[in-house]
Amino acid sequence: MANRRRDFHLSDEDIQFLDSTNLDWEAVQDGNKRAVIFYGFPLREPFQPNTVELKIKLPQDYSSGAALDMFFTSVQVTRSDGKIIPRLTQSGSFYGKIWWQWSRHYPPGTKWRPGVDNLGTHISFVKNILHDEAGGKTWQ
């Protein structure tokens, strides 16, 4: 993607992480909502399709330590084994697209650690969820 949007400032640490993913990404502001969108984010079997646009919603106060939570896909992901994906709901429009919210939260006893956690640790959390759920585990 030649002209990636950078509508708002991200920390050097976040930009370094985003560039290290080898995925196209944008930092998009739509009204008062902000998000980082990854293009071509891979999903493993049994999820279909095998790549999606992945959105991470960034609260306005993210740079001062506000927690990231959940994630969103640009399409309604399904499973090739026919199992239902729990807590996957249509969440509305952002950047001209309808997004699907994966309502997944950090496990009890685990909290967002301001100054430690960032986009990189949150994407690691997202990947762990997708890996576990592909194998049959249910996340809260």
| DSSP per position, 98-140 | EEEEE---PPTT----TTT--HHHHHHHHHHHHHHHHTT----
pLDDT over threshold 90, residue 140: no
Residue 5 lies in a domain: no
Whole-number pLDDT of residue 137: 86
Residue 67 lies in a domain: yes
**Across 83-90, average pLDDT:** 94
Domain holding 81, by residue range, is 12-134
Residue 47 lies in a domain: yes
**What tens digit of pLDDT does each residue of 22-58 get?**
999 999 999 999 999 999 999 999 999 999 999 999 9
Domain total of the chain: 1
pLDDT over threshold 90, residue 3: no
**What tens digit of pLDDT does each residue of 92-135 get?**
899 999 999 999 988 888 889 998 999 999 999 999 999 999 99
Residue 119 lies in a domain: yes
pLDDT over threshold 70, residue 21: yes
Whole-number pLDDT of residue 2: 53
**Across 9-14, average pLDDT:** 95
Distance of alpha carbon 13 from alpha carbon 55, whole angstroms: 18
Residue 6 lies in a domain: no
Residue 122 lies in a domain: yes
